[in-house]
Structure formats: C-alpha cells, structure tokens
Chain A
C-alpha cells in the first residue's frame, strides 16, 4: 500500500517535469518561423524596370524627335524613321548603329 502511494507521488511529481520541457522548445520554434517568412518575400522581377521619366528628355539622336516606349518589346520607337532602340537592364541604348530597323519584314540593321 505504501508502495502504491509512493509510486503515485513519484509519477505526480514527474509529470509536471515532463510538461515543462516543451515550453522552451515552442518558444524556440516561434522565432525560427520569422526568417522563413522573409524567404517568400523575394523580389520577383529580375529585370529592372525602365524609368519612364527619361522619356521627357530622350529623343532619337538622328532626328531629334520624341520616342514612344513599347513595353512588350522593351524598345524605344521612332515612328518617323522606323527604328527601334533596345533597352537592356533598364538602360536604353541610343547608339544609332545598334538600333533595329522596323520595316514590314522587320529586318535587323547590320551592326559593326
């Protein structure tokens, strides 16, 4: 009989100890989820955007006429002369030799 009481006392005292450890483990888990959340907020666009405010000052170097920004092909187009200047990494390339001729069969200009 004493053994039963003793065994019950032991188990009762042991139980609270068993519940204590999970506490700090849960606390350690919560800060770990913080950095995990930041991984999902990565920037999706690898290509930097072209700054449309540049269009205020940019003109075609040959005709000095304003250009039209074409978002699909990512080029600056001079309708009058039918040429398109490419934009790489958000930086427009305004060298005439590197412009593309827009003709009905859209041929590329020979570059040197």
Chain B
C-alpha cells in the first residue's frame, strides 16, 4: 500500500514537472487513490513478484526491507559491543583504514549512509580536528614572530568559510538513537547531524557532499544499483564514493577458517551477548550473498563512477571500494 502511494506521488511529481498546475496534479493523485485497489494490486504484485535474497532465504523485496529493519532494530543497543566481540576489535582497524585512505581535509562535507551508530562520522570529525591542529602547528612554526596584523588575521580565519560537517543517514531510527546517545556522551555535537533516510531515495539535493561513505551497510540495501545512483547524484563533481563491505576471501585456508568462524561462532556470540541468534545468522549469510570485489567494482563503474579501485583488508575479509564522480 505504501509502495503504491509512493509511486502515485512520484507520478504526481512528474506531472507537476511537466508544467501541469498543482490542482490538476492533486486531482490526479486523489483520483488515483479511488482507482487505488486495482492499481495497488498491479504495483504491489510487481514488488511481490521480484524476489531477492535475505541471507540464504529467498524473499520478496518488500519482505527483505522489513526484515532487515527488524534485524537492526533488535541489535541496535548491543551493536557496538557485538562488533567488537565478533571481529575481535579488528573492525576498528578497518574503519581507521577507511579514514586513512579518505584523508579528508578541513572543510570537507561527509555523508555517511547506513551510518547507524556513527563510527565513521566520529572518526571523520576527529581526523579533521587533528588535521587542523597539525596545520596550525605548521603555520606557527613557519611564522616565528608574527606581526599584529598576522595574529588578527588568524583570529578572523578561525571560523572558516566552510566548516566541515558530517551527516549520518540511516533508515533505522533505533540505530540513529544509539548513535546520538553516543555523541552526547562523548560531547561531540559541532558539525554532526542525524537524519532518518532511505539509501535508495536520499533526502539530499544534487552535488552536495565531498565524500559519501557506506560502511557495512550496502549489502542490506534491497536495490544496490539504486543506492549507487543516489550516491552519484548527491556527490559534488570530484567527490569520492567509499564503501567498506565484507567480501570474498581468496586464500583457501583462510577461507575455511573464516567460514567455520562465521557459521559456528558468530551466531553463538550473537545469542550470548545480544540474545539474538537469527539476526547474526542473517548477517553471516548476507555476507556470502554479496558480490565479490570485482563484481562490485563493476557495479560501481556501471553507476557512473570513475577510477574505481578496491583495497583488500585482512586478506579479503573486508574490501574498501573507492570511486570518483568526475
């Protein structure tokens, strides 16, 4: 029902774009509602017919979105603890590597999609702060005895024309709530914003952000190509798309150890710590269903990104894909 409403609204928008008056569009939407049942059935059947995977299960696309939402709603409170337990703390290394490759400069605008508890956004702001301090120290060292004019100029340029900002966008309210609580307890608030939004339909205008990141979130999106299209849209020309995701391990020995660990240990840890076996079963299954490094690189290139490359971390357990909008 909601999906068909969304389609009807989209149709109304398209009509308005073709310079038809607003009242006509409103009438079309309202009459569309009356025609509702037959149209609904047609559109919702399409979505119901298109099946996708939820872990190793095959489900309809609407079903997948709902179930993924439920998974993250259940695990939100224990999400960070579980990450540390499952990856033995290595997820911190992966996220630090993402920041290191990103190398953001002061004034950069970041959009962190599926950012949930805000790990990437916090690291981003921290990195920029240390960059700014490094720059100040370098400036202080070079200008040994500044004149009064230089000192007064420094005071005025402290609030830059463009303050760096991080926007965390996630479809799940619970994850964002946990993230906001973390931010409040850490005392981080300047330049950090939280938005509930769908990666396939971002509530941001074109050409807005310098960097778009999605860390361990894109395999949960129902239509990955749509998410990539949206990423291309909201990035400024010259902007960078960066994606951290679990990927294929090529080494056979490491692969067998990894598989054993994933299927034997992780759901057990999930049950013990978070009290949720099924969600973590979904997690390890969804990793296996996600395309490998080369395939995903191809998908990113198809979306329209250039200079796409990937870095394998921890022997291919995690891959960092990067592309530019030119």
Contact: B13 with A63, CB < 8 Å? yes
Contact: B26 with A91, CB < 8 Å? no
Q: In whole angstroms, what is the CA distance A32 to B194 when docked?
A: 41
Q: Which A residues lie within 8 Å of B13 (CB)?
A: 62-63, 81
B contacts with A, residue count (CB < 8 A):
33
A window 41-91: CB within 8 A of B: 48, 51, 53-54, 57-64, 66, 80-83, 88-91
Q: In whole angstroms, what is the CA distance A59 to B208 when docked?
A: 11
Instruction: Tally inter-chain residue pairs, CB-CB below 8 A.
Output: 83
B204 nearest CB neighbor, chain A only: A57
Checking B66, B177, B206 against A89 with a beta-carbon cut-off of 8 angstroms, the contacting residue is B177
Q: In whole angstroms, what is the CA distance A61 to B9 when docked?
A: 11
User: Which of B195-203, B211-219, B239-247, B292-300 forms part of the interface with chain A?
Assistant: B195-203
Q: In whole angstroms, what is the CA distance A81 to B28 when docked?
A: 12
A51 nearest CB neighbor, chain B only: B193
The interface residues of chain B, by DSSP majority, are classed as mixed
How far is the CB of A38 from the nearest CB of chain B, in Å?
A: 19
Q: Which B residues lie within 8 Å of A96 (CB)?
A: 6, 9, 198, 201
Q: In whole angstroms, what is the CA distance A37 to B291 when docked?
A: 61
B window 109-167: CB within 8 A of A: 165, 167
Checking A51, A82, A93 against B173 with a beta-carbon cut-off of 8 angstroms, the contacting residue is A93
B228 interfacial by beta-carbon distance below 8 Å: no
Q: In whole angstroms, what is the CA distance A28 to B6 when docked?
A: 68
How far is the CB of B210 from the nearest CB of chain A, in Å?
A: 12
Contact: A57 with B201, CB < 8 Å? no
How far is the CB of A80 from the nearest CB of chain B, in Å?
A: 7
Q: Which B residues lie within 8 Å of A63 (CB)?
A: 13, 16
Q: Which A residues lie within 8 Å of B206 (CB)?
A: 64
How far is the CB of B256 from the nearest CB of chain A, in Å?
A: 41
Given A53-B193, A92-B196, A64 and B173 touching (CB < 8 A)? no
Q: List 21 A-B contacts (CB under 8 A).
A: A51-B193, A57-B167, A57-B209, A59-B205, A61-B198, A61-B202, A62-B6, A62-B201, A63-B16, A81-B9, A89-B177, A89-B180, A90-B194, A91-B195, A91-B196, A92-B203, A94-B203, A96-B9, A96-B198, A96-B201, A109-B5
- Beyond contacts A59-B203, A66-B205: 6 other A-B pairs, Cβ-Cβ < 8 A, are A58-B204, A62-B13, A80-B16, A94-B197, A97-B5, A112-B2
Residues of B that sit less than 8 Å from A by CB: 1-2, 5-6, 9-10, 12-13, 16, 22, 26, 66, 165, 167, 171, 173, 176-177, 180, 193-198, 201-206, 208-209
